Amino acid sequence: VVRRPLIGAHEVETRRAELLTAILQDEDDPGAVAVDMLMGRLYPAHRYGRRPRGTAQTVDAISREHLVEFHRTWFTPEGTTVVVVGDVDAELVVRASARAFESWNVTRFTEPSMQPVAQPTTRVAAIVPMMNKAQADIAYAVIGVRRADPDYYAGWVMNNALGQYALGGRLGDSIRERQGMAYYVYSNLDASVAEGPLMIRAGVAGPDVNRAVASIDHELMLVRDQGFTSKEIDESKRYLVGSIPRQLETDAGIAGFLLSAEFHALGIDYDERLPALIDTVTLDDANRVAYRLLDPARAAIVVAGPYRKPAEAVA
């Protein structure tokens, strides 16, 4: 499959039909609509701004020849990592991999590249009215950090305190628990080769959209101005360190962890070093990264659902 895929016409059409169905489903899902449009607003001239599944038009335009050419360009030995996890003999795996791949001699003529991410200078907003839906989905994001950024671990801890720990960190405590507005609210830091988004997601009733966005703005400014508490950062660090074993409970979890470590050149002993990398994050580190990233004036916001007000209402 890796070296000599058949890419049969029937399989191409089957997969095309599956993708088109998934695209139609996404276009009827306020959450998917909000995130897709948000990424386009946050990364207007970058690959990260493209819809992952494409559009009906782009999927329809893909031919078998396009797939063959894509495989020829990018499926090469130097771009391949094999991870095997389970009750196997390591030496047997090495020998089997050698038999399968040692004669694979393909020259790569194109090297992958990633253009730099342009930092927004203003706040942007968009509204997608979907009046037949029960709730409005809010996607609110700022540019985050690269995985290789020295501030990655501080950003990871900071994001956990902001919108993940316990019932959703600061955001969950304010917007869901104390104000009772959100069906859900959380944040996620997606650090990769380039600066991925720090995205906040919330689901609220249509009449509560403005209050919810204003509350997100307020919490971000509160963190920028006053910082987190030592208790918040200490609890987030303990939570993250404690969650590492859960990531490694299954063969699939271990394989994904090892693949990510290899892709980002983190080292074979990354699982052993990771607790200390998290634990060395200080309160000052977390607050410094929060101030660096959490700027509502440079946020992109998209609301999709039963909400008709102009974009200026949340801009």
Predicted local distance difference test score (pLDDT) of residue 167: 80
Per DSSP, helices labelled H in 110-229 are: 152-163, 165-171, 209-226
Report the distance separating Cα 123 and Cα 289, nearest Å.
20
pLDDT tens string 36-76: 999 999 999 999 999 999 999 999 999 999 999 999 999 99
Mean pLDDT of 286-295: 98
pLDDT tens string 84-117: 999 999 999 999 999 999 999 988 888 889 999 9
Domains of the chain: 9-101 (3.30.830.10), 124-313 (3.30.830.10)
The pLDDT > 90 percentage for the chain reads 94
Predicted local distance difference test score (pLDDT) of residue 5: 92
Report the distance separating Cα 176 and Cα 169, nearest Å.
10
Mean pLDDT of 194-221: 97
> Which two structure tokens, joined as six digits, stand for 111?
């090297």
- Residues 150, 289 contacting (CB under 8 angstroms): no
Does 288 score more than 90 pLDDT?
yes
Order across the sheet with 182-189: list the strands: 124-129, 300-305, 136-143, 197-204, 182-189
Predicted local distance difference test score (pLDDT) of residue 1: 83
- Residues 48, 117 contacting (CB under 8 angstroms): yes
Query: What mean pLDDT, rounded, does the chain reach?
Result: 96
Report the distance separating Cα 257 and Cα 248, nearest Å.
8
pLDDT tens string 124-171: 999 999 999 999 999 999 999 999 999 999 999 999 999 998 888 999
Predicted local distance difference test score (pLDDT) of residue 107: 86
Backbone angles phi, psi at 195, to 5 degrees: -70, 105
